[in-house]
Every structure is written in structure tokens, then in C-alpha cells.
């Protein structure tokens, strides 16, 4: 009896179905893995962007902190210089207000009874050349005399100062300050660069001008952009070719201007005058009117000398 022939298509169809099923599972697995890969790539990109943003933020904060620290350092240096100048001025005041050998001609109460001269109501003029000639100040109402140093009080100037001292103010409309501005402050701060001269004068009046030594300035690793005018060999105020060892800063501005020793001396002379009259205004100077007047006169003399080009040589 013959055998029934085997149909090869039956097992082949089963294998094909199994293969299709396996391919379908593999496709699903590949699709799942692709989605996982895309998700991981997206998370990686977001993490990288976040890290870069955080790094940039940290750098910005570090730069801002460094800039603030540098600004505070400059302000501290300026305050130190100002305090040192004030200490020097106060030392000068102490020396001038407490002399080791008081002028007995200016202080009759220090004379012995036999040398004190005639009492009030019996004053007699003498014509000898050695006798001091008193002058009565019309505003103050007391006698002013010349001293042994060859100084003699100008009664008009003293009257203006005395009137200002009774109600001290920085208002330049007062006769005393108006004269000082016209005769001393204005000419002393009148530089070739007129626009900058006006800015310097305003900063001196507002007590916001800072003088910095160039040698002490260090270059930071990360520096905030600052504008500098002139150079270490050219003065920004006079325009002359001079060795500039200092520079000035006006208020909170980051701009710096290099100045020559002569320009620095002129600015310093005016600053010293304003410092002293501010001390008077604040009640820090405890002296009679006449010694205060002579100190003001000395400071005016320093401004005049600086304007004429006389200044102490720097070490």
C-alpha cells in the first residue's frame, strides 16, 4: 500500500508564522529601546544645558562679587587717604592751637603785672618804632595787632571771616567764601581742560574726589571695564607731558584721570582749605577767631603758591 506524500508547505507556513511573530516582538523591542534612547538623550541635553547655565551663573556671580570687592577696595583706599589727610590737618591744628611759647604780645593776660602796660581807660600811644600799632576791627570790636613774625591782620578780610564764622556755611554767596572762590579756589582749579576742570571743582566742593597713587594699583585677573584718560606721561588736566604718579576719580565714576605732581598739588591745596572750613562748620576747631583766621590765610597762601607752580617734590 503506497504512503501518503508529505506536503512541505505545512511546516514552512508554521515557521513563517513563528518568524513573523518573532520579528514583531523584536520590532516592538527596538521601538521601545529607541524611545528609551531618545528619552535619555533628551534628559542628557537638558542636564548639559542646565550645567552650562549654572556654570555661567556662577561665573557671573563671581565677576560681580569681584567687581564689588574691587570697588570697595578703591573706596577704602580713598577713605584711608582722606583720613590720613584729616589726621595731618588735625595735627597741624593741634600744633597751631597749642604753641610751646605763646606770643605774649597777642595775649596780654600772659604778661606780668609790671609789663602788662596801662590799664583799660589809660591807654597812650607811643611814637617809638618798637611799639606795636593796634588796629580796631570794626566788625569784631576788639584790637588786632601785628606780631613778631611780621604779620598784620587785614581788617576787611578779618571782618568777612568773622561774619562767616558766626554762622559757618559752605554757601559761596557769603562775602568770605565769595572772595576765596574768586581769588584762590577758582584760579587754582582753572586748568587747560576746562570741562574736566569744572568736574574736578564740583567734586572737590561735594567732597567726592579721590586721589589714588598709580604705583599701588594692581591689575585684577578679571577686570571690569574702566575708562582711563591721559597716561602716566601726560596730565589729563594740563595736557603737558609730565610723569603722572597719581590719578583722580570723580564720585562713583569708574573713569580715572592721570594728573601731574603740579596738578595734584593744586587740587590738594584746595581740598585742604575745604577740609579746614568743614571742620569749622562742624565745630571741631576750638580756637579764637584770630588763630583760625591765620590758618585760613595760610591755606589760601598754599593755594596761591600751588597755582604759581610751587609744590613740594615727591619722594
Same domain (yes/no): 71, 211: no
Q: Higher model confidence: residue 125 or residue 81?
A: 81
Is 193 domain-assigned? yes
Is 72 domain-assigned? yes
Beta strands in the chain (DSSP E): 135-136, 143-144, 209-213, 228-229, 246-250, 256-259
Same domain (yes/no): 193, 299: yes
pLDDT at 139 over 60: no
Question: Which residue, of 63, 87, 111, is where some domain finishes?
Answer: 87
Tell me the residue range of the domain where 38 lies.
Answer: 23-87
Q: How confident is the model at residue 232 (pLDDT cuts 50, 70, 90)?
A: confident
Question: Which residue, of 87, 118, 137, is where some domain finishes?
Answer: 87
Same domain (yes/no): 167, 269: yes
- Domain tally for the chain? 2
Is 167 domain-assigned? yes
Gyration radius of the chain over CA positions: 42
Compute the C-alpha angle 91/251/225, nearest 5°.
Answer: 125
Same domain (yes/no): 65, 207: no
Give the distance, in angstroms, between the CA of residue 173 and the centroid of all CA atoms in the same chain: 26
Question: What is the per-residue pLDDT across 254-299, written as a single tens digit (0 to 9) for each?
Answer: 889 999 999 999 999 999 999 999 999 999 988 899 999 999 999 9
pLDDT at 27 over 80: yes
pLDDT at 101 over 80: no
Is 133 domain-assigned? no
97 contacts 291 by C-beta, under 8 angstroms:
yes
Q: Please give the order of strands across the beta sheet that includes 228-229.
A: 209-213, 246-250, 256-259, 228-229
Is 45 domain-assigned? yes
User: Taking Cα atoms as reference points, which of 116, 93, 103, 77 lies closest to residue 217?
Assistant: 77
Q: By mean pLDDT, which of 29-33, 172-176, 213-217 is the weakest?
A: 213-217
Same domain (yes/no): 72, 159: no
**Backbone φ and ψ of 226, nearest 5°:** -130, 145
Same domain (yes/no): 78, 206: no
**Backbone φ and ψ of 246, nearest 5°:** -135, 160
Question: Which residue, of 59, 87, 115, is where some domain finishes?
Answer: 87
Is 119 domain-assigned? no
Is 92 domain-assigned? no
pLDDT at 156 over 90: yes
Question: What is the per-residue pLDDT across 31-58, written as a single tens digit (0 to 9) for each?
Answer: 889 899 999 999 998 999 989 888 989 9
Same domain (yes/no): 63, 172: no
Q: Kindly report the average pLDDT of the chain as a whole number.
A: 78
Q: How confident is the model at residue 215 (pLDDT cuts 50, 70, 90)?
A: low
240 contacts 158 by C-beta, under 8 angstroms:
no
d(CA 98, CA 77): 31
Is 245 domain-assigned? yes
303 contacts 273 by C-beta, under 8 angstroms:
yes
Same domain (yes/no): 74, 201: no
Same domain (yes/no): 159, 287: yes
Amino acid at each position: 500500500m503506497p504512503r501518503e506524500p508529505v506536503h512541505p508547505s505545512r511546516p514552512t507556513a508554521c515557521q513563517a508564522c513563528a518568524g513573523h511573530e518573532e520579528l514583531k516582538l523584536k520590532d516592538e523591542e527596538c521601538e521601545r529601546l529607541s524611545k528609551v534612547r531618545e528619552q535619555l538623550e533628551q534628559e542628557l541635553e537638558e542636564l548639559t544645558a542646565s550645567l552650562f547655565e549654572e556654570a555661567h551663573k556662577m561665573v557671573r556671580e563671581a565677576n560681580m562679587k569681584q567687581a564689588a570687592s574691587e570697588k570697595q577696595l578703591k573706596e577704602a583706599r580713598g577713605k584711608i587717604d582722606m583720613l590720613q589727610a584729616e589726621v595731618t590737618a588735625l595735627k597741624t591744628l593741634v600744633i597751631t592751637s597749642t604753641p610751646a611759647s605763646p606770643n605774649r604780645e597777642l595775649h596780654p593776660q600772659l604778661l606780668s603785672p609790671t609789663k602788662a602796660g596801662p590799664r583799660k581807660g589809660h591807654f597812650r600811644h607811643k611814637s617809638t618804632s618798637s611799639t606795636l600799632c593796634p588796629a580796631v576791627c570794626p566788625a569784631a570790636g576788639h584790637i588786632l595787632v601785628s606780631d613778631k613774625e611780621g604779620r598784620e591782620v587785614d581788617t576787611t578780610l578779618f571782618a568777612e571771616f568773622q561774619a562767616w564764622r558766626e554762622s559757618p556755611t559752605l554757601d559761596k554767596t557769603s562775602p568770605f567764601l565769595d572772595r576765596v572762590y574768586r581769588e584762590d579756589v577758582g584760579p587754582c582749579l582753572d586748568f587747560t581742560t576746562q570741562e574736566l576742570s569744572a568736574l574736578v571743582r564740583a567734586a572737590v566742593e561735594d567732597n567726592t574726589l579721590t586721589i589714588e597713587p598709580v604705583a599701588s594699583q594692581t591689575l585684577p585677573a578679571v577686570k571690569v571695564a574702566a575708562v582711563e584718560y591721559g597716561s602716566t606721561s601726560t596730565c589729563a588736566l594740563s595736557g603737558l607731558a609730565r610723569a603722572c604718579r597719581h590719578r583722580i576719580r570723580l564720585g562713583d565714576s569708574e573713569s580715572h584721570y592721570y594728573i601731574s605732581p603740579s596738578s595734584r598739588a593744586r587740587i590738594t591745596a584746595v581740598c585742604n582749605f575745604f577740609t579746614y572750613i568743614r571742620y569749622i562748620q562742624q565745630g571741631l576747631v576750638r580756637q579764637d577767631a584770630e588763630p583760625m583766621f591765620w590758618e585760613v590765610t595760610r591755606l589760601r597762601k598754599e593755594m596761591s603758591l600751588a597755582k604759581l607752580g610751587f609744590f613740594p617734590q615727591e619722594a
